[in-house]
Amino acid sequence: MSDWLSPSEIEAVLLSLKVAFWATIVSLPFGIAVGFVLARYEFPGKQLLNGLVHLPLILPPVVTGFILLKLFGTQGPIGSVLQELGIVIAFSWTGAALAAAIMAFPLMVRAIRLSFEAVDARLEETARSLGANRAQVFCMISLPLALPGVVTGSILAFAKAIGEFGATITFVSNIPGETRTLPSAVYSFMQIPGGEESAYRLVILAVIVSMTALLLSEWLAKRVKTVVEGQ
């Protein structure tokens, strides 16, 4: 890859993979929990929770980034507390991961929720009638049967995080080596004379990564479903 991409391009690609990986890993437990709650429970405020989860899909990404900056910036209510603990999120790669996680979260939750809804609730009721508690039912029945959706949601979230731009650049700027992810690098190269060639290479790479992630999610979901149904 070093023969095709320059060091700065490789740096942007590796940073994007790092950001997308941590955005997916950290948000996955929350995605599973929220997806399960939305699929299985009725409670006051459920539609509000559903709306908040999907809000990043309909808000302009720049608005999401602005909200994050006001909340997690060094002068924000959350950011100022974190700064006292020695944690700075704004204008760092961890902030880019946070922005990517929030923008990808709706896709993750939707796939996981649909998978939990497809699980026959009678299986869960039968397990509870045999003495299993809710945690045991979830771990032994609900989650394994919903695993194809969890895998699909995770990979889709990863692909979305790779391509996140608007919220990221608003929240953490475009700092080479720190927050300049693949989309930010494409934007930067388009602003400089002679940078189109680098931009083209990164665009091609972004398309390859995104398509690979989509195809992989389909293949893994089918494989996991086959394994689960075969048990």
| Domains along the chain with CATH numbers | 7-230 (1.10.3720.10)
pLDDT of residue 209: 82
Averaged over 155-163, what is the pLDDT?
90
Three state DSSP letters for 84-129: HCCCCCCCCHHHHHHHHHHHHHHHHHHHHHHHHHHCCHHHHHHHHH
**Which range scores top for mean pLDDT: 65-69, 72-76, 85-89, 133-137?**
65-69
Determine the straight-line distance between the first and last CA of the chain, rounded to whole angstroms.
Answer: 41
Report d(CA 110, CA 219) in Å as an integer. Answer: 19
List pLDDT tens digits, range 80-131.
Answer: 999 888 888 988 999 999 999 999 999 999 999 999 999 888 888 888 888 8
Average pLDDT taken over every residue of the chain: 89
pTM above threshold 0.85 = yes
Report d(CA 70, CA 63) in Å as an integer. Answer: 11
Cα 47 from chain centroid?
Answer: 21
Report d(CA 135, CA 138) in Å as an integer. Answer: 5
- Cα separations in angstroms, 65 against 90, 93, 170, 223: 10, 14, 5, 37
Report d(CA 65, CA 183) in Å as an integer. Answer: 15
